[in-house]
Amino acid sequence: MSDVLNINKLTKVYTRRHGDTVAALSDVSVNVQAGKFKVVHGPSGSGKSTLLLAAGGLLHPESGTVAVDGQDIYALSSEKRAGFRARNIGYVFQQFHLIPYLSVLDNVLAPSLAFTNGQVLRRAEELVDFFGLSGRSDHPPSELSTGERQRVALARALLHKPKLLLADEPTGNLDETNAANVINYLRQFAADGGAVLVVTHDSKIDADEKYHIEEGFLVNNSGSPVSGNKNEK
C-alpha cells in the first residue's frame, strides 16, 4: 500500500541563542499508510513535537524528505506548501491554538473563514454536532472544558477532510474518559481510510504500530533502530 506519509531520514538541528546546538532529530524515518494509526512515544524533550512539525510542513528539516500523498512537501514554495497543507493535512496542536475571540463554530471554520460557503458551513456544523459540541457552538473557547477544547481542535483539523491527521499529545491534558474518546475519534478516522500519526509521552496508547523516540533517535517496538524506508526510491 502506498504511503500517505513518508518521512525519510529526517534531521533537525536547533541552534540555541548562546550558540550551542541540539540534534532534535537524527535520521528519523516513519511511514503511515491509509487506514493506519501509528504512535511515536518518548519522554519530554526527545524530539516528538519537532518530528510532528516537520511532518506537517511547519518546520523545514536540515536534511531528509517528507512526502505526503507522494508530494515532497519541502520541494514546494512556502505558499504552495501552505495550500497543500490546508487541503491534505489536519494538525492538532498540543496547546490547541484555538482563537480566543471566535465561537466554537467559527474556530472549526477558521481554516476557511476567508472563503466559507454553504457547503463548508454545513461540514463545520456536522463536525460540531459529531463531537458533541452543538450546545457550545456559540461559546468562546474560554467557556469550554479542556476536553471540549480538544474536540474543537480535532473538528477544525478535520474540516477539509484531510488524508493525514497529525496530533501532538492529544490526550496530554485530558482525564481518562476524555482521553479514551479522543483516541477513539482518531482510530475512527484511520478506520475510515485516513492516516494518523500521534506523538505522545503516554506509552499506554495502543496503535497499529508504535515507535519510541529518545534524544532524536527513533526505534521501533523491538528496540532496533528504524533505518531508511524499505520502499526508498
Q: Which residues bind Mg ion (CB under 5 A)?
A: 48-49
- Of 208, 152, 196, 215, nearest in space to 56 by CA: 196
* Closest approach of ligand ADP to the CB of residue 24, in Å: 4
Do 66 and 55 meet the contact criterion of CB atoms below 8 Å apart?
yes
- State the virtual CA torsion across 15, 21, 22, 23 in degrees, nearest 10: 100
Only one of the segments 37-45, 64-72, 120-128, 158-166 lies at the binding site for ligand ADP (rule: CB under 6 A); that segment is 37-45
Q: Is 71 exposed, middle or buried (0-12, 13-18, 19+ CB in 10 A)?
A: middle
Q: What are the CA-CA distances from residue 220 to residues 40, 44, 98, 210, 214 (Å)?
A: 9, 18, 33, 6, 11
Instruction: Pick one of Mg ion, ligand ADP, none as the site partner of residue 86 (Cβ within 5 to 8 A by kind).
Output: none
Residue selected from 46, 103, 171, 181 as contacting ligand ADP according to rule CB under 6 A = 46
Work out whether 14 is an interface residue with ligand ADP (CB under 6 A). yes
* Near ligand ADP in 111-130, by CB under 6 A: none
Instruction: Pick one of ligand ADP, Mg ion, none as the site partner of residue 47 (Cβ within 5 to 8 A by kind).
Output: ligand ADP
Residue listed under C-alpha cell 490526550:
171
Q: Which of 31, 46 has the CB closer to ligand ADP?
A: 46
- Of 18, 34, 1, 24, nearest in space to 217 by CA: 24
Residue selected from 36, 47, 67, 157 as contacting ligand ADP according to rule CB under 6 A = 47
Q: Which of 91, 131 has the CB closer to ligand ADP?
A: 91
Work out whether 56 is an interface residue with ligand ADP (CB under 6 A). no
Q: Which of 13, 102 has the CB closer to ligand ADP?
A: 13
Which residues lie across from 36 on neighbouring strands? Answer: none
| Residue 137 Ramachandran class (φ > 0 left, ψ -120 to 50 alpha, else beta) | alpha
Q: Which of 47, 141 has the CB closer to ligand ADP?
A: 47
Q: Which of 50, 107 has the CB closer to ligand ADP?
A: 50
- Spatial separation of the C-alpha atoms in residues 216 and 200, rounded to whole Å: 14
Work out whether 44 is an interface residue with ligand ADP (CB under 6 A). yes
Q: Which residues bind ligand ADP (CB under 6 A)?
A: 14, 16, 22, 24, 42, 44-50
